[in-house]
Amino acid sequence: MRYISTRGEAPELAFEDVLLAGLASDGGLYAPVAYPGLARGDIASLAGLPYAEASARIIAPFLGEAFDGAELRALTQSAYSSFRHSAIAPLTQIADNLFVLELFHGPTLAFKDVAMQLLGRMMDAVLARRDLRATIVGATSGDTGAAAIEAFAGLDRVDVFILYPHERVSDVQRRQMTTVEAANIHTIALRGSFDDAQSILKSLFRDARFRESVGLAGVNSINWARVVAQTAYYFTSAVALGAPHREVSFAVPTGNFGDVLAGYVAERMGLPVGKLVIGTNSNDILARTLASGRYELRGVTPTQSPSMDIQISSNFERLLFDVYGRDAAQIRGLMGALDQSKGFTVAPAPLEAIRAEFEASAAYEADTTEEIARTYRETGYILDPHAATGVHAARKRLAVDPATPIVSLATAHPAKFPDAVERAIGKRPPLPEHLAHILDARERFTVLDNDSGKVAAFISERARAARATV
């Protein structure tokens, strides 16, 4: 399996190199030369398998010769051993043909754990094999940072630097990052938005000298390995509801487009998907794009679902690459227009191709609060505000197609957003016991200006890989 950049001007790489590279050197994102397929019989055979075994079978075709079957099974078994539910990603029914996929049973209570726990083990294995050190730099709107820190804390070959928007994440999200004592973990509170943090991250990856000097690696959802790991729960949940013998739709709370892209990849592999429904909040750029064909940046509005307070949905570039017939020159043109004029127009044929598989629905603040309240009132089930945007979108889809079951992804535990939940239902969900200590623990972080030069200097001074190259 080989990988190419969406912008066509970076080397073709094998999976191991894509794993370490994150972003392509031309600023593009890596995508497989072709999507591998799973036969209907292979999909059906996933029924009843432990999640770790099913995951290994699903993602193996993407890995080439990076890991053999036994190595991969050992990695998935280890990755999911710390999850606090035996099913890893269990389904809960909350209405007729409406199911919630609980992706928050990992160590940091967010769906990012599903990919990050596996990514950390894969990356550590490859670095050991090559006798290398790496400097991981990530940007987070809340959950990615905590998941990365949990996955890499204490590893000798890796230093981790996480940028998050200062005072724009929940207290629990922040404390999950800032109370970790491991010496290889560095948290940076950036004076700016998540989009600012992501912009700095991309500029660091484009700086060849800096990238080489610190052994730069990335763990954001721009890293293809993250997307691949997330395809597994689309298959396991759909098979539990009758796939491949029936279609299943999915509603996905979406900011950076990585999670819903994993559903698209699963569909490309042969999973019969009815519709992929994008749930957004007030930062509704994806809903606006699907409605009008115009992808246009606006200011970021802080909401009660902060992990989705994003305007630049980076993984959307991978979808555009496919619907534009993998024409890298076209993608370079679109991304250039985005950089220069803050927007671009999707051509009619690619837009129709997107609409054939996706739809989008925005849940504004009142909608989100009402969805949490309604679901709790009707079922006793507590949604976090991100999951509420997905369920809100799922209900709209069911009104159009009540016969097709829809799985709505619950991407975070409600206890991570107690204020939003309390506003909706009048009580605060308790933080699980294994995380309660963070509320009183000492925090450790550095506040930096929104300046890529200052961030680069901070990293260079502290990264052990940089010292090793001097």
- Biggest CA–CA distance in the chain, Å, is 63
Q: Phi and psi of 325, rounded to 5°?
A: 70, 25
Q: Which helix (H) or strand (E) holds 228?
A: helix 224-240
Concatenated DSSP letters of 173-204 = HHHHHHT---TTEEEEEESS-HHHHHHHHHHH
Q: φ, ψ for residue 98 (rounded to 5)?
A: -120, 120
Among 364, 363, 418, 416, CA closest to 391: 363
Phi, psi dihedrals of residue 250, rounded to the nearest 5°: -135, 140
* DSSP assignment letter at 12: -
- Kindly report whether the peptide bond that precedes residue 244 is cis, defined as omega within 30 degrees of 0: yes
DSSP secondary structure letter of residue 431: P
- Whether 112 is a known active-site residue: answer yes
| Angstrom distance (rounded) from CA 342 to CA 351 | 19
Whether 18 and 3 have beta carbons less than 8 Å apart is answered as: yes
Burial of 339 (0-12, 13-18, 19+ CB in 10 A): exposed
Give the sign of the dihedral formed by CA 410, CA 412, CA 414, CA 419. Answer: negative
Whether residue 281 contacts residue 393, with contact meaning beta carbons closer than 8 Å, is answered with: no
Tokens of 207: 């700086």
Chain-centre distance for alpha carbon 396: 24
Strand partners, 248: 273
Q: Per the structure block, which two tokens stand in for 362?
A: 């925005």
Single out the catalytic residue among 112, 202, 275, 416: 112
Residue 98 CA to residue 250 CA, distance in Å, equals 10
Residues carrying an active site annotation:
112
